[in-house]
Amino acid sequence: MVRGIRGAITVDENSKQKIIAACARLVKAMQEANGYQPDDISHIIITATQDLTAAFPAQGLREVPGYDLVPVMCAQEIPVPDSLEKCIRVMATINTNKQSSEIHHIYLEKAVKLRPDLVLTNKCDSR
């Protein structure tokens, strides 16, 4: 079965180092919480808010072992007024036998504000 796993993280500044490190941290946390391997991934879509321009977040994936052959695409998040700033969002599409209720969506740093319903029901990890 194919399932989507969501994740998001914020950074405190628009720097190449921070963007790459944050994306790698987020993807590692998503994998750890859901127990999949890079070979289980169909593809990953990453968006970044318009205030993050110092690097492609996908560079962070290339620092995670096994992700060198995973198809990845980056895009700019829709610039909605008053939305969360300096935010990277990830959607990993994976092959898994897990039910949707067993999937752990990961929201880190200020991104926990994006889905407080999942945080409050313990259906996501906000480490």
CATH number at residue 104: 3.30.1330.40
For the question of residue 77 being annotated catalytic, the response is: yes
For the question of residue 124 being annotated catalytic, the response is: no
- Contact assessment for residue 92 and residue 30, using Cβ atoms and an 8 Å cutoff: yes
- Contact assessment for residue 7 and residue 107, using Cβ atoms and an 8 Å cutoff: yes
- Contact assessment for residue 94 and residue 2, using Cβ atoms and an 8 Å cutoff: yes
Mean pLDDT of the residues in the chain: 92
Quote the domain boundaries for residue 43.
2-125
Annotated active-site residue in 77, 87, 109, 124: 77
Element of type H or E holding 107: strand 105-107
For the question of residue 23 being annotated catalytic, the response is: no
pLDDT the model gives residue 117: 79
| Residue 16 pLDDT exceeds 80 | yes
Q: Tell me how many domains the chain contains.
A: 1
Annotated active-site residue in 3, 36, 89, 109: 89
pLDDT tier at 116, thresholds 50, 70, 90: confident
